[in-house]
Structure 1
Amino acid sequence: MAVGQSSPSSCHGPRRDNDDDDEDDDDTKSARQTAAAAAATSNFAGNGRHNINIDAMEAAQMYARNRSFGSRNDLDDSIGAFEELPRDKADSAWFHIDREYKNKNLEKLFAQFQRKLQRGNISLFVVIQIILAISHCSILIGWTSATDAIIDVVIMGVLNAVLFPILALVFRAGSYKNSPILSIYYSCAIVALLIIGDVVPAMYHSKNDEKASYKPVYQTHTLIACYFFLPLPRTLSAVILGVMASACYITSSLFITYRNDYFYEQKLLTDLNYHVCINMLGCYFRFMNQMMIKRSFLDRNKCVLSTLRLNYEKDQEEQLTRSILPQHFAHQITNCFVEKSVPQMEETRPSLTSITIKNMFMEVHKNVSILYADVVNFSGLTVRMPVQKLVETLNRLFGSFDDASELRKVLRIKFLGDCYYCVAGVPQPDPRHAANCVDLGLDMIDIIAGLGAGVRRECGVDIDMRIGVHSGEIMAGLLGAIKWQYDIWSRDVCVANKMEQTGRPGKVHVTERTLELLNRDNYCVEELDQSDNEILNKYGITKSYLITPVKQCEPEKYEYTSDTCRRKRPNRRNAYDQQAQRMNHFGQMIVRNYHLILKEANKEMEKAINHMPLTKIEQWGKWERINPFSLQFDKWQWELEYWREPDPLFKFSILLLAVLLPCVGPILLVRNNSNVQMSYTIFSYLGTFLFALMLIPMSWMQFIWDYVLTKNNDERNPSCVKPTNPVIKFFYRTSNEIVWKDSLRILVYFTLTTILTITTTYTFLYECQLLVQAESHKLNSSSPIEPTYAYKCVATPWQFTELCAITIITTFMFLRINFFIKLFSGGMIAIFYACNVWIYRSKLFQIPREAWNPILGAQLSHTLAIVYLIFSMHLIDRQTEYLNRLDYQWKRRLAQENREAFNICRANKLLLLNILPNHVAEKFMGMDNTMLNRLYHEKHEYVAVMFATLTNLSIENVDTLSNYNKIICHFDLLLFNAMFQHRVEKIKLAGTTYMAASGLDNLRRNSGGENSPGKYSVLKVLTRFAAEIMKITENINGQVDGSYALRIGICTGEVTAGVVGVKKPLYDIWGDAVNMASRMDTTGVPGKIQVLKETADSLEKLGVRCHRRGETYVKPKGLLTTYFVGIDADGQLERCGASLLPDIEEDDEDEERDVSRL
């Protein structure tokens, strides 16, 4: 394919045709960046007094971000980045847990996760049981002689001797893995043993003392075990077992403890209400703990999926970058994109201080061979072949070339229309680089021979390959600020280009330098005399050689053979079939990898569950980040942020208290003496109950409003409808603050626990003390009052202990309150209780028979009951706290991995948007396999195409290339101008030729058919862009004392656009308008914009003057009338009276407004 009168420096120039051959939102920031870049470029183009500090990476990302859906927010949403839960969505993460994990089909994995947690609970139960047994026996022996305590010690020993083997079976999760009913049997056996071990001692001691009312020791402990420790599969099972255990204890109280008691009705009533309260608390704890476990499980699952997704994104990124850029460049480029993809990048923009080019990725390679290949008669295909068939043909052809180049160890650089060029010996030196290029050229000739028969039948066009090869050295890398493509430059590249232009179809044209690196015995070589060839003589070439394919070998597959046969040719049918199978390489890869992620997630989740450190030995032996003693994170920042975590479950604890208080009332108000004054207790109880009721709307209003009252207003975002009534608004705001402010929750927590403690203990005991004092006054005696007088104010001293136990358990039911705070609160209640038992109200607890057994005193029995309870609740709370912190640790890891995945995904998106137009990139990166099962192509009825060649520039060294890069960067930054943004699309950089087009986005008004009112805007926008880059070039000449000039050609018409080479995708356009625009450039004059008559007439209608040049010979159409676009002394387009159509600014007023919002 000839290039006409192109400059010798235009090594692989216009190869488009052949002859017969914070305060602001992200949108505002993005607009500022765009405006800054545009203003900087405009100032530079206008007067030359401003220079631009160009960071190519930043410019590339600003371009891609502004091209992609309009703003960073849209780009981020398209990627689906992980974000922390919004303030008005905290509840939704908890109230749809069951639906979420069922929708993900995670029931089986959750059952395994639950068994793992149950093992941790069983290990904790074993620790508690051992400590309670040892302490209980030690106290009995220490308080009295071993002989008196023998019965209790023996019973305790036998109980644990039978209990621990059962616990060992339960600890082995596999023992009931396949038969969940076994876990119920095990649990029933454990509860039965606990009840027997608890009731038998009381039965034994009561038999020896008819007047005694000894209580079972561990009834609260047994009920707690039902709801927390035992491996029951469902909450209903735990409730049934807890109720059955309570029934056993109530029965034992009726027939053993209170068998001879006159007031047994009141005592049974208080015991019954106590068991109801404990079962309610246990059921609540079980339910909320299950919710937390499921939330933790889902977070863990997300963490695993995030890790796999990160790996998938990395693989996708590597596939993408390596398919477009050489592997040795891909890693470096991607790292720069990832580093620049962080949010801080939003704050940067080009400064106007100095001319420095950053991130120019360039390297020099010596001893390489360059191959240029051109499809002969390709222009006939663009006219005669349908759009889809054309793209499929090019994709199959270039895909086969890519396969052959990989096999021959030749690196494909790019294709320019129908021109395909590549280089051997890059990135790693290869002594066979010349032979590899020549062999690849012969393969190409053979490949197109198989394709040519079908094309000839369908279109009547004979196609062939003309190939040129030259050896030397190159400079390789990326130029410009946007739309990067790996390219090569050097004098030797120009020589290879000219060898192709002067070659012959069906042969490989090589220089003498290349031939010297070949074994001539393996090739059919024909020498040519080039002494009269002006094109080659400019490069000192007087002789060249044609290498003809060898026909003797069988066409089976690519492989090197013995010296008797140079090579075997490809099996054409297999080559085409393989390429057809690769047509959707990226789409199939995306879908395949997506399903692999889902498949591998379960395996990774199962592995992660098995390695969770939940047992005490694992927590102390494998701890990471969480101290097993203090349960503090090893980083104070994590600790502070954990304290500030929202607590959507806090409202449930308040609701629990409001529901629990009516059950506490009978325990508090039942007295043996109905005449006892209870005003203090009643007043305090009612005050506490009303306060709890008042807190319900203050904690529940947001949930009630968002998810009940206004749910139907907006299914996707119910919280968008806010209350307007002042009272409801106050409650709404307060409930939101309670969820999100830890200090407010702690204040409410301490207020509630203090009021509840005063109600259940202090006022109750205060009235009892008043009764004692009244009885003392009646007797008018200074002698000590008998404990029986105090007995009149309570049904039993255990009534006070039971109220205290309910209060302590309630304080531990605020599951997300820090466990140190709950331990402090429970400890203070216990201390207050102990002071009353031993000091202030000791007479109430001096009834000998109101104990566990005759050995221990009543005061010690009551105190130990509370101490054991606090000890058990604290260990349970520690386990819950550990799970919460483990869940938080997972969420931190999830957030970090999602940020990394987001940055990589964003880098992928930006990189692709920096190579493909945004509307093409959206389709290419989509997950719709149906869309990806077709090659992407589109037909545009009216597009303006521009070729701009920089003349008087010979790229022979890195310094020259650096100057050229500066010029291209200025051109690229002009695309940020609001007039050109989203309208002008940079296609590629070919040698010293800058190719751009306008009207390629079908979604915009300016792209349309011949009768579309926006078609003239397409032409005028591109013409203005051409004038601006000419002005930039002139100003650069004034700064660097250069003599650069732009030679520009523009043409309009129908264009076919598409992505060719799905394995190594490149976006390109084809059509007669593209060919003619290239010809307008190559036949043009430096410093002028040349157009055809039809284009000139359109510009005249837009009010742009054009000057007739005359008849110009344009291959292959012959003599055509051409025009130069008028440009005045200021570099502006000359006007020629009133425009027949609205000016671009008026015609696109809405468009400008849209751009301004970007």
Structure 2
Amino acid sequence: WDPCFDSHILEAQYKRSTFLQLRQRFQYALCYCVLASLLYCIYSASMVRPHWVASVVVSLLVAVSSMVLLVFTQSRHYNAHFVKVSLVTVAVLCAASLSVFAPIVQERSDDSAVHILSVGAFSLCILVLMIIYALLPMPLYLAVAVCSAYSIVFEILSALLIPTLTGTVVAVRVLLQLCVHLVGLHTRVMTEIGMRNTFFKVGQSLMVRRELEVEKQLKEKMIHSVMPPKVAEWLMTNAEDDDSSSEQPRKPSTSPRPSQMIFRPFNMHRIENVSILFADIVGFTQMSANKSAEHLVGLLNDLFGRFDYLCNKLGCEKISTLGDCYYCVSGCPEPRPDHARCCVEMGLAMIRAIAEFDEDTNESVNMRVGVHTGTVLCGIVGTKRFKFDVWSNDVSYANKMESTGRPGRVHVSDSSHAFLVDHYYMEEGPLDLNRKTYFIRGRKPTALDKAQQMASRHSWPHTIAAAETTKTIDTRKVSCPANQPGEIEEEEVAPMLPPVHRHSSLSTLNSSRKDSGIRSRQSSIQDTMRPQAKALRFNNNVPVFVSMWQVNIVKLLDTPTPLYAQRASGYCSSYTSVADTGRSSGSSLRGYSIFVDPALMLNESLSRLRHLRKQSDLQMIRCIQQDSCTMDYFIRPPVNPVTLFFNDPQMEKNYRHRLHHRDLAPTMASASFTTYFDIFVALGFYLIIMFACFVLFDTPMSWLLFCLFATSVHLCIFMLCIREILATRGHWVADCLAQIYRYCTEWYPWHVVGLVLVSFPIGAIFSNFTCAGVLSTPERTNAFCYVVFVSLLHFCNFTQLNFWLRSLLATCAGVVLALLIGLPACPCPLRAPARNVTHLEVISDLGVELPGVSFHRDSYSCNQSAIYEIVLHVVLNTILVWLLNREFEISYRLSFHGSAMAARDEQRIQSMKNQADWLLHNIIPRHVAEQLKNTSKYSENHRDAGIIFASIVNFHEMYDESYEGGKEYLRVLNELVGDFDELLSKPLFRNVTKIKTIGSTFMAASGLNPKLRRENPHPFTHLFELMDFAIAMQQVIENFNQNLLEFNFVIRIGYCFGDVTAGVIGTTKLYYDIWGDAVNTASRMDSHGVPGRIQIPEHCLQVLQELYVFESRGSIYIKGKNNMNVYLLVRKKDKVLYRILPSTQRPSLTTTTSDDKDKPAPTDEQAKGDEEEKKPKSEEELPV
């Protein structure tokens, strides 16, 4: 009896948010009271009835009281006393309506006056009831108690003071009072539920919008870890048009057909005056000789993390790392005049950083840096595991500048020298292709002071701080003005990594990825932007927003308990980091579950759940309080003030289309429940009215036929609703009935059905109207007015229907009542004893004159005063119906709008999450990203992982910068790499993952996902899939060459497997890669291979030769490996079967090809063993 949220926090905020709307409705009620009082005052004064002075005084007192209360609602004291004010209003209205009985007591001898006053009193009673139920802001239980008490008192007074009321009429009046309470309670409950649902949905929408802002920042940071914002904007624009749940944002075309070349989206820009820096670690090979791959990855992560920080501080854009090589650019993609100086300062800072790295790690490595300035093509090639990269001959020359440089020095070309001559001391270096080169010796005095100032400001950390100390997640904009080389304004750029002590341990690098954006919800979100820190945190330092990347990390939110799901209203994305706390606490409890009482564990779990819900409520309240438009949302709804259609045409279209759609989580606020409730209320109301007509009046044939039709329609609609309710529980399935229900609940058919149902009660009354049956006696006329006035209120039902239609029908019904009573369509009834009324009515209707019997024209229906009073109450009832219908439809539309906005925002954030996940998984494989959610680092060793390097050996022959700067040739490369990427989507190559592209070289690996390897039917399935993938790449090249004019690409593939270490390195620029001797060997198999062939080392032959045919190439010299025996793939064997064996056993392969003819015949024991193995119970063979 008192609907409220189960959270007192939400309930308090709900009352604050909806206070203005409730006050506005109360003001409408007071204005209506003023209007009704003035009309009643005018009527009483103009009719000059007995005791009219008292009626005028009472009416004026009500009007004055209402105006005083109306003024008081504008004061600040009303907020604290609105319930008391409502009770005062109830007292005034009830006293004024009950005061009508005073003239009745004094004029009991005048039957005509008594009849007139009884009709007016009953009309005032039902008006007061509806005002209390629908418009006065008071608790529901209080409204029910007041209305019930008022109805009881009113009917008791009526029965005692009105002598003409018979027992039958009193019983009918009680039933009519129940009808009024039914309608009033129905509208009050549904309005209350609608308002609360609107509040909750608006709160959810605001939460999602706020999370959208945070997620946008998070996504931008993640995107910027692989590419500049300018390129990312283009990429995400293309991604929005495709399936966001897919791993790729767009569906590239298949291999171009000869008749039509369909290119994939391609973004490549030619930029001049770009400086390119290549830096290589000198002594890396010696450093890595005595270290494990995992330790080596940690050291690289430490060193490259320092370089990433310097890139952000010094105005450079990191491109990538190639083994121990690090390269970046300046002036690309955003041009800047000091690009050369930024690269030189970056090189000098890298040399100083590696010196400190040596001091911290007791290593002896150095940096060799090369810088060249020229023109580049920058953009993205491929559709999977792509990255922002640069291409041009100048890029190749910058790489050469590094390789020909000296350790600890920055080697610059002559083109870079022109930009640096005024700022640095330089000495000439060796000539390269008749071009002068230079080494940086030091800064000139004009730049030295500023450089020292800059160095003091960009003191980078030598230990990656813990993830919780991350300062920011938004992109940093570094500004290096032309007149101040490399200087960074401290107020413009906050330090991305907090400075720490110089000699801190470097081991924390591997355990704390400070700014990866995927470490954890807390680390990636809680410090999202310092200006918003207050808005995003509560006093208990619990972050209010979490990363969408880990939406499934907490089982509690994924599968909400009924308690949580009930309040969530189908929305289970109220993410809070408290959930992580609960999860970790649960993990610790599980560890001690053997010693803990299960009841205690349950209590603790419930306590965590309550804490989680409280934080979710606080989060919603904070969002609502920070949104200044929330209060106006309830009093200025986004609808047209006249038609009540939504201002947004698309929203109106969705409202009409989804008006009766079944909700996934049905609640009392759902459209389907509202429909069922309206229909059940309409049926109950109709049955009571039909029973009242049957008891009070005669039963003409027209009434019987109408009731038969109306009852049949009601029962059919009722059965359809019952079928829908049972169908949701799986108890009744009838497709034909479902189709009928769906058709009837469409927008226009539902308006027809609803208007018919809402009109049945008034139609049943009017179909029973006859002059002899209704107007024969004042008692029957009174009863007729009772049921009509009550039936007018039934037009407040069916809030889903347009209020104009319902209100116009109510107006028409009131006009019909006034016409039936006021126009002389029927002769005036005879004043006669009640026992002879029926016969006299018949005689009067026949026009027969009886001697001694006369008809009187001064009875009730011929009394002009009575007619005017009926018209007055028809007007008052109609105005109230219009007012209530308008308010109810606004409330219902607001509820739909709030739900639609919450669903739309939820869909947007889900789409954004999918885009972020897709991009993240293009940087880092999915299984790696999942592990990074729970740990601060990722470094994993894999045994027998397969690696291939595939190079387009003659792409440089095709590439020519004289045409479009080489852009169109890179478009061709993008198409080819895109075709390679498409192969990865096939289930046949599910174990294969792309690592990266290096120019025109494609690198892929297999066996890096332990979960997939465990699911494989054979321990070397991933190696076979990788070889099949290499063969498929050759086929792609053949198909691709068919569409090229006068040029054929040639692919060369190197294959190897062995132990590797996979890891994610970098801080602001995440990078997934693999390291190990097998990687180097695979690269050498490619670089020393044969064009058009697949080459493998000798140790791979043992595993692969049973499925593939190879030919020996002999022993060749391999750089860094001396002489190696290598083999070239000839073809794959046909119809090869292999048994599913445990991973600890060597694969046993069988083949039906002719290559097995040279094998020795099996012995008898072997043959017997083979026959036993062929039995189905012990053998399962799969084709390869």
Query: Shorter-chain TM-score: which interval?
Result: 0.7 to 0.9
SS of alignment partner, residue 106 of structure 1: helix
**Contact residue 1026 and residue 1048 of structure 1 kept, 8 A:** no
- Aligned residue in 2 for 1:808: 792
- Aligned residue in 2 for 1:87: none
**Contact residue 466 and residue 508 of structure 1 kept, 8 A:** yes
CA distance in 1, matches of 2:830, 2:1151: 99
CA distance in 2, matches of 1:1015, 1:243: 78
Superposed displacement of residue 407, structure 1? 1.4
Instruction: Specify which of 171, 175, 181 is matched with residue 279 of structure 1.
Output: 181
2:772 partner amino acid: Q
CA distance in 2, matches of 1:357, 1:704: 53
2:725 partner amino acid: F
Q: Tell me, yes or no, if structure 1 residue 398 matches structure 2 residue 304.
A: yes
SS of alignment partner, residue 949 of structure 1: strand
- Aligned residue in 2 for 1:247: 152
Instruction: Specify which of 208, 216, 219 is matched with residue 317 of structure 1.
Output: 219
CA distance in 2, matches of 1:934, 1:844: 95
Structure-2-length-normalised TM-score: 0.72
User: Structure 1's 967 and 750: CA in aligned 2 closer, same or farther, altered over 3 A?
Assistant: closer
Q: How does 1:863-874 map to 2 (within 5 A)?
A: 863-874=871-882
- Aligned residue in 2 for 1:1055: 1060
User: Deviations along 1:625-664, whole A, 9 cap, x unmatched?
Assistant: x332232345766556534421421221222244446655
Q: Tell me, yes or no, if structure 1 residue 162 matches structure 2 residue 65.
A: yes
User: Structure 1's 1086 and 266: CA in aligned 2 closer, same or farther, altered over 3 A?
Assistant: closer
**Contact residue 1017 and residue 1144 of structure 1 kept, 8 A:** no
CA distance in 2, matches of 1:1076, 1:800: 101
User: Structure 1's 453 and 1097: CA in aligned 2 closer, same or farther, altered over 3 A?
Assistant: farther
Superposed displacement of residue 284, structure 1? 1.7
Superposed displacement of residue 401, structure 1? 0.6
Q: Tell me, yes or no, if structure 1 residue 1075 matches structure 2 residue 1080.
A: yes
SS of alignment partner, residue 324 of structure 1: coil
- Aligned residue in 1 for 2:870: 862
User: Deviations along 1:1077-1122, whole A, 9 cap, x unmatched?
Assistant: 112223334344332111234332222213223131331x322222
User: Structure 1's 253 and 849: CA in aligned 2 closer, same or farther, altered over 3 A?
Assistant: farther
Superposed displacement of residue 507, structure 1? 3.6
Instruction: Specify which of 706, 721, 745 is matched with residue 699 of structure 1.
Output: 721
Q: How does 1:268-347 map to 2 (within 5 A)?
A: 268-340=170-242
Deviating more after overlay: 213-222 vs 1136-1145: 1136-1145
**Contact residue 413 and residue 423 of structure 1 kept, 8 A:** yes
- Aligned residue in 2 for 1:1121: 1125
Superposed displacement of residue 963, structure 1? 1.9
CA distance in 2, matches of 1:1149, 1:966: 42
Instruction: Specify which of 765, 777, 780 is matched with residue 790 of structure 1.
Output: 777
Q: How does 1:590-669 map to 2 (within 5 A)?
A: 590-592=524-526, 595-596=543-544, 601-606=620-625, 607=627, 610-612=630-632, 626-633=639-646, 639=652, 641-644=654-657, 645-646=659-660, 647-648=671-672, 649-660=674-685, 664=689, 667-668=692-693
**Contact residue 943 and residue 1053 of structure 1 kept, 8 A:** yes
User: Deviations along 1:94-143, whole A, 9 cap, x unmatched?
Assistant: xxx989x6579632332223323212212321332233233333334444
**Contact residue 18 and residue 634 of structure 2 kept, 8 A:** no
1:585 partner amino acid: G
SS of alignment partner, residue 1104 of structure 1: strand
- Aligned residue in 2 for 1:28: none
Q: How does 1:79-94 map to 2 (within 5 A)?
A: none
CA distance in 1, matches of 2:759, 2:223: 64
User: Structure 1's 696 and 961: CA in aligned 2 closer, same or farther, altered over 3 A?
Assistant: closer
- Aligned residue in 2 for 1:192: 91
- Aligned residue in 2 for 1:585: 517
- Aligned residue in 2 for 1:467: 369
CA distance in 2, matches of 1:850, 1:392: 106
**Contact residue 385 and residue 923 of structure 2 kept, 8 A:** yes
Superposed displacement of residue 332, structure 1? 2.5
Superposed displacement of residue 873, structure 1? 1.1
Q: Tell me, yes or no, if structure 1 residue 128 matches structure 2 residue 32.
A: yes
User: Structure 1's 754 and 199: CA in aligned 2 closer, same or farther, altered over 3 A?
Assistant: closer
Q: Tell me, yes or no, if structure 1 residue 236 matches structure 2 residue 141.
A: yes
Deviating more after overlay: 566-575 vs 296-305: 566-575
**Contact residue 678 and residue 797 of structure 2 kept, 8 A:** yes
Superposed displacement of residue 1149, structure 1? 10
CA distance in 1, matches of 2:716, 2:944: 70
Structure-1-length-normalised TM-score: 0.74
**Contact residue 277 and residue 369 of structure 2 kept, 8 A:** yes
- Aligned residue in 2 for 1:112: 16
Deviating more after overlay: 933-942 vs 807-816: 933-942
CA distance in 1, matches of 2:223, 2:8: 33
Q: Tell me, yes or no, if structure 1 residue 917 matches structure 2 residue 919.
A: no
Which consecutive residues of structure 2, in runs of 5 or more, have no partner in the other structure? 460-479, 489-498, 529-535, 537-542, 546-615, 661-670, 832-855, 1139-1147, 1154-1178
Q: Tell me, yes or no, if structure 1 residue 935 matches structure 2 residue 937.
A: yes
Superposed displacement of residue 405, structure 1? 1.4
SS of alignment partner, residue 280 of structure 1: helix
- Aligned residue in 1 for 2:353: 447
SS of alignment partner, residue 1011 of structure 2: coil
**Contact residue 1100 and residue 1136 of structure 1 kept, 8 A:** no
Quick one: percent identity of the two aligned structures? Answer: 21
**Contact residue 936 and residue 1058 of structure 1 kept, 8 A:** yes
**Contact residue 273 and residue 666 of structure 1 kept, 8 A:** no
Q: How does 1:169-568 map to 2 (within 5 A)?
A: 169-170=72-73, 175=77, 177=79, 179=80, 182-204=81-103, 206-207=105-106, 210-211=109-110, 212-213=113-114, 214-215=117-118, 216=121, 218-232=124-138, 234-256=139-161, 258=162, 261=163, 263=165, 265-340=167-242, 349-350=253-254, 352=257, 353-355=259-261, 357=263, 359-378=265-284, 385=291, 389-453=295-359, 455-456=361-362, 462-515=364-417, 517-518=419-420, 528=429, 530=430, 537=432, 539-541=433-435, 545=439, 558=458
User: Deviations along 1:470-520, whole A, 9 cap, x unmatched?
Assistant: 333322222234432111222222222123223344443334554554469
**Contact residue 489 and residue 956 of structure 1 kept, 8 A:** no
Q: How does 1:814-853 map to 2 (within 5 A)?
A: 814-839=798-823, 840=825, 843=828
User: Deviations along 1:710-756, whole A, 9 cap, x unmatched?
Assistant: 4xxxxxxxxxx4635x6xx7666655655x43455344434434543
Superposed displacement of residue 831, structure 1? 3.5
SS of alignment partner, residue 643 of structure 2: coil
Which consecutive residues of structure 1, in runs of 5 or more, have no partner in the other structure? 1-96, 532-536, 711-720, 773-786, 925-930, 1127-1131, 1153-1158
**Contact residue 379 and residue 1072 of structure 1 kept, 8 A:** no
2:145 partner amino acid: I
CA distance in 2, matches of 1:229, 1:696: 30
Superposed displacement of residue 420, structure 1? 0.8
Q: Tell me, yes or no, if structure 1 residue 152 matches structure 2 residue 55.
A: yes
CA distance in 2, matches of 1:357, 1:680: 75
SS of alignment partner, residue 1004 of structure 1: helix
1:652 partner amino acid: F
**Contact residue 814 and residue 874 of structure 2 kept, 8 A:** yes
- Aligned residue in 2 for 1:723: 732
CA RMSD of aligned residues (A): 4.6
CA distance in 2, matches of 1:952, 1:677: 100
User: Structure 1's 571 and 189: CA in aligned 2 closer, same or farther, altered over 3 A?
Assistant: closer
SS of alignment partner, residue 1126 of structure 2: strand
Superposed displacement of residue 201, structure 1? 4.6
1:1093 partner amino acid: E
**Contact residue 1060 and residue 1078 of structure 2 kept, 8 A:** yes
Superposed displacement of residue 424, structure 1? 2.2
1:200 partner amino acid: S
CA distance in 1, matches of 2:860, 2:928: 83
Superposed displacement of residue 276, structure 1? 2.8
Higher relative contact order, chain-length normalized (CA < 8 Å, sep 6+): 1
